[in-house]
Structure formats: C-alpha cells, structure tokens
Amino acid sequence: MKETETGPGFLRRHWSDTLLAVAALFVSAVSLWVGIRTEEANEAMVAASTRPFMQIGIDNSTPEGVPYLKFNAINAGVGPATIRSFEVFYKGRPYHSGPQLLRDCCGLQTHGGPVRPLTDKNTRLLTGTVQGMVVRAGEQESFIMYPLHDDNVAVWNALNAARPQITYRICYCSVLNECWLANLQGDLAAPGQLNPARVKECPIPPVAYTK
C-alpha cells in the first residue's frame, strides 16, 4: 500500500525537519553566546591593558642619600590616569595647600611675603598639585618637595615624623572613562591600598589640594 502525505513517511520527514531546525537554532544560539563572551573578553582585556593605578609614595632622601622629603603621586598601572580630584588630610582635616599643611603639622612659619630664593640658608618649600593632570603609566608627580638645610631642621623632622598621620583621597579615570576613588596613605603596605572603589564619576571635593 502506497504511503500518503499523512502516513509514516510524512511523519519521519516532519520530525527530521524539526530536528534539523532545532539543531540549527541550537548552533546559532551557541555561536551567539560564544560571540558575546568573546566580545566581553576582548573588552575586559582592553580595559585591563589601559587601567591606571594610583599610589602615594614618599621619599625622605635622594638616591645619593641626601635628606630630601618628596611626596609623590605614582601611577603604578599600565595606562594613563586622568586625575579628577585630589585631597590631602592631616589628622582627618583637609588642606588645600602644602604651606597650610606644614604650618599646622610641623610649625612652618608662613609670612605671606615675597617668595624667598632657595639657598643653603633660606630653604623654600616647593609644592604643587596633581588634580587636573594626566599621569602616564610608570610616571609620578610630586606635590610636596622639601630639602633639609640648617634653617629648617625642626620643620623637616616634624614633617618626616607626621607622614603616618597624613592621608590622601584621589579620584582618577582611565582613557576608557572608567573611574576609581582611592583612600591612600604614604605607607604602601597599609590596608586598602590595593582596592580602590569603582565609581561612575568622581565627586567634587569640598577642599581640594590645589597648591
């Protein structure tokens, strides 16, 4: 007896076509999933290859052993860091400048007069900021520089001793506009130094360290 379109042959073809369609959909779904995961992996690799990582490092001598306090913002990452905000605190109080900080922590006398020349008998405190700067990978920017001379021994020693009580908050972004907010200390081994918080955008500090 000849098979009709509603007989066993039709059913076999129907299930065969259905299985092929399901298999094609499965392969398409797997291919899409693999493509998405590959794209995510590529994006993660690009982000990792451009990520900055800011730290604070403090030197109290030159490579030759000459006493010289230098406070540095260091980019230890692999991509440039755009510094959106920078704050400096002493005993929890924010400061907008190096002279103001050293006046309170270390007894620096600030008279507001003309800038004095740097000589062996007349030592200038050199300061700056990193806010608004781009620090390339592997580079650093100094924001307090203070050599030791005969006229500033007491203030220099006080600043050297005050380093553990000075803390920092810095917010920086990568070239992909990924941003991190870090609470830092001059001691690179201090807790939390390796775990900056991811933020959508950098907050505007009430008191930014600007000079």
* pLDDT for the residue numbered 114: 44
Residue 156 has pLDDT above 70, yes or no: yes
Q: Model confidence over 112-128: pLDDT tens digits?
A: 544 444 444 568 899 99
| Residue 110 pLDDT greater than 60, yes or no | yes
Letter for the amino acid at 51?
Answer: R
Hey, which bits of 31-189 come out as E strands? Answer: 54-61, 67-75, 81-90, 93-95, 126-127, 134-135, 140-147, 166-173, 179-185
Whole-number Å distance between alpha carbons of 174 and 188: 22
Across 16-25, 66-75, 80-89, 125-134, least confident range:
16-25
Task: Convert the pLDDT of each residue in 6-47 to its tens digit.
Answer: 556 555 556 666 666 666 676 676 666 666 665 554 455 544
Distance CA 43, CA 165 (A): 40
pLDDT at 74: 95
Q: What is the mean pLDDT of residues 188-207?
A: 86
